[in-house]
A and B are shown apart, each in its own frame.
Chain A
Amino acid sequence: MIVHYGYLDASGEYFITVDDSKCSVCIEKGCIKACPKSIFMESENDYGEKVMMVKDEVRKMLKYICAECKPSVNRPPLPCVTACPYDAITHSW
């Protein structure tokens, strides 16, 4: 199951997409520790698989919360994406 966490508004689309089929096989869930804003948590999805989820309270603010990792020039690799060995995480912006 692919889950898109986030929103679209007048300024654009701000989604963090997690591929649960890849995420569920990862024991470490290194992305949770890698995020400097602690926006991720581990929980069970609808099919009982242990996966990483974006916390409820930040889902409507991703554009602003993730801004720290996304400078407008010379953007470095995103810590959450780098920490994921299964390429389960993508950002839409």
Chain B
Amino acid sequence: MYFAGLDVGARYTKTLIIDGDARVLSKKMSTSGFDNNIISKNLLNNLCMELGITLEEINKIGVTGCGKKNIDFANYEFSETMVAAKSVFFFNKNVRTIIEVGAEESRVVKLNSDGRIIDSVINEKCAAGTGTFVELMARTLEITLKDFSELSMKSEKKIPMNAHCIVFAESEVVSLIHSGVDKKDIVRAVNDAIASRIASMARRVKVEAEVALIGGLAKNSGFVFSLKNNLELDNIVIPDDPEYMGAFGAALLTREL
């Protein structure tokens, strides 16, 4: 039995195949591009080739993400909130708050002890507090995303920064560069700004431990550190593949239908 999960995000499309026991057999991601349908199908075909199966042998396909409506070969569609809850609770039954930071939207989902969603809030309007913010700042600072994460951890200086607008924040970063502020301190300021943005949204649903962080930004250790400080948490649970949790949740839900 094979079940596929697709997460067609604003920036990247993630896809994976699980078996009947919910073991991940293969996974792949690529930029979402212009035609989500073709890119998703190609990704899935590549996964099938790796496993030595055909697309027809996949029993069911579930899709989520902001581009889910563009996928014409999926059997089921799921909300992003639902797949986040499903996948995180599958790995850790103690999680009560899920924070997801994607490329262009962030969301916070609160669960009860049965894994049922009891509260949820999404911010899909403002780019401040999303992965795109980090990508833009890394470009402005001429560093890679990997360096962005590592440099932040080396900084011991806090610089307050505008967290409310990606455009103003960029010009503020340029000002800091011209003032001769160390790159690592600017990187930390950016991570702190995003964390404060996410934390203020998370407080709407009243953060309750344990807290899990998923989405691509969970790989930025500097941001994780800033978020922990802002929410005054000792620990944040991060799954092994935080960017694949949406796709995994879609596959899990598909398996149950």
Interface segment, B122-130, B132-140, B175-183, B220-228? B122-130
- Inter-chain contacts of B124 with A (CB < 8 A): 7, 59-60
Q: Would you give the 0/1 interface string for A1-45, flagging 1 where the beta carbon is closer than 8 Å to chain B?
A: 111100111100101000000000000000000000000000000
Q: Does B82 make an interface contact (CB < 8 A)?
A: yes
**Contacts A8-B200, A46-B79, A46-B82 given: A3-B120 contact, CB under 8 Å?**
yes
Chain B interface size range: 20 to 34
**Contacts A4-B204, A46-B81 given: A9-B164 contact, CB under 8 Å?**
yes
Q: Say which residue of B117, B126, B164, B204 sits within 8 Å of A15 (CB atoms).
A: B204
A4's closest neighbor in chain B, by CB?
Answer: B121
Q: Would you give the 0/1 interface string for B189-203, flagging 1 where the beta carbon is closer than 8 Å to chain A?
A: 000000000001100
Q: Say which residue of B117, B119, B123, B200 sits within 8 Å of A46 (CB atoms).
A: B117
Q: A10-B165, A46-B81, A47-B116 are in contact. List 13 more A-B contacts (CB 8 A).
A: A1-B116, A1-B120, A2-B205, A3-B119, A3-B120, A4-B119, A4-B122, A4-B204, A7-B124, A8-B123, A8-B126, A9-B126, A46-B117
Q: Does B118 make an interface contact (CB < 8 A)?
A: yes
- Inter-chain contacts of B119 with A (CB < 8 A): 1-4
Min Cβ gap A41→B in Å is: 16
Q: Would you give the 0/1 interface string for B68-94, flagging 1 where the beta carbon is closer than 8 Å to chain A?
A: 000000000011011000000000000
Would you give 11 A-B contacts (Cβ < 8 Å), ordered by A? A2-B119, A3-B119, A3-B120, A4-B120, A8-B123, A8-B200, A10-B126, A10-B165, A13-B204, A15-B121, A46-B78
- Inter-chain contacts of B125 with A (CB < 8 A): 7, 9, 59-60
- Inter-chain contacts of B121 with A (CB < 8 A): 4, 15
B122's closest neighbor in chain A, by CB?
Answer: A4
The 4 closest A-B pairs by CB, nearest first: A10-B164, A7-B125, A4-B121, A2-B119
A2's closest neighbor in chain B, by CB?
Answer: B119
Within 8 A of B (CB), among A27-84: 46-47, 59-60
A10–B126 Cα gap in the complex (Å)? 9
- Inter-chain contacts of B79 with A (CB < 8 A): 46
- Inter-chain contacts of B126 with A (CB < 8 A): 7-10
Are B118 and A1 closer than 8 Å at their CB atoms?
A: yes
- Inter-chain contacts of A9 with B (CB < 8 A): 125-126, 164-165
**Of B118, B121, B164, B165, which is in contact with the most chain A CB atoms at under 10 Å from its CB?**
B121
